[in-house]
Amino acid sequence: MLSQRQFRWGQVDTALLLLLFSAVAYLGYRINIGLEYQWNWQLIPQYLLRHDPVDGWVPNLLLLGLLTTIRLSFWSLLLAIPLGLIAGLLRASLHLFNRLVGSTYVTLLRNLPPLVLVFIFYFFISDQILPCLNIAERMATAPEWLQRMLQLLVAPPDQLEAFIAAVITLALFEGAYIGEIVRAGINSIETGQWQAARALGMRRWQILQQVVLPQAFQRMIPPLAGQAISTIKDSAIVSVISIQELTFQGMELMAATYLTFEVWISITVLYFLLTYSCSWLAGRLELRFRRAYN
């Protein structure tokens, strides 16, 4: 049986949901009446999937942009996590020089606008570093199977250099935030555990590896999940350098079709499905670690 307090909170939740649905309905009504907007949802599915005479149903602009966003976020996080781990360990170091290096990296990257960082790093990386690697020439002479694999997992050959520059830019930016998460996780471990491990004759690196980091990682899962979701959302920034991710494809599609609300609502739903999936996976991982250590 529900208590009176639970029943009361259930009524409050129901009222809030009704209020939310009413606000959404009123917003749709004002768009339809006030702006005299003509909804045209039947055109959206063809921009998700299109039928090719040879290959059958293949992804179209919006799904292609979503796949690029997923690849961009995945590779950025894959690079940002070790960068953040190193930055966090440097910030938690006993040596002043290490702490200064870690603090300089984290402070600079966290206190500058991400759009400015995108332009600075993108043009420096694409103009000064990537040309030395001759990626375009190497891709032109690479076997066909390698080109297909890179196109599937990374980006098409003609967009590879821009994609790599965007990944490095996002990884450097997100790594600064992950570094703070790692530092806070390490510092959250009780002093008594450090002292007990030292009493057993363990060195600092052994204490970090075997005692501190396993426990700190469990506490870091929620903020790391939040940072992963933030990486997905921050990936929209690189649309300004013509990376054909979801936001870029949405802007191109809106300019071509004038389906303003249909396009952006569809993009909102796609972003939500992607970020909510990450949040759900992080919750399952946190629950699994909690059961393992309790």
Domain boundaries, given as residue ranges, for the chain = 61-293
Residue identified by tokens 């990944």 is 167
Residue 84: its pLDDT value, please? 93
CA 85, CA 227: separation in Å to the nearest integer?
Answer: 13
Q: What is the CATH number of domain 61-293?
A: 1.10.3720.10
* pLDDT average per 10 residues of sequence, the chain (294 residues): 57 78 77 71 88 81 92 93 93 90 91 84 76 74 80 81 86 92 90 85 85 85 88 88 88 88 91 89 79 64
Q: What is the DSSP letter of 95?
A: S
CA geometry: angle 275, 276, 278, nearest 5 deg: 65
Residue 1 pLDDT: 46
Taking the C-alpha atoms of residue 156 and residue 170, their distance in angstroms, rounded to an integer, is 19
Torsion over CA: 239, 153, 231, 123 (sign) = negative
Which pTM was predicted?
A: 0.82
Q: What Rg, from alpha-carbon coordinates, does the chain have?
A: 24
What residue type is 174 in one-letter code?
Answer: E
Stated length of the chain: 294
3-state secondary structure 231-262: HHHHHHHHHHHCCCCHHHHHHHHHHHHCCHHH
The span from the CA of 36 to the CA of 124, in Å, is 46
Q: Cβ distance 225 to 181 under 8 Å?
A: no
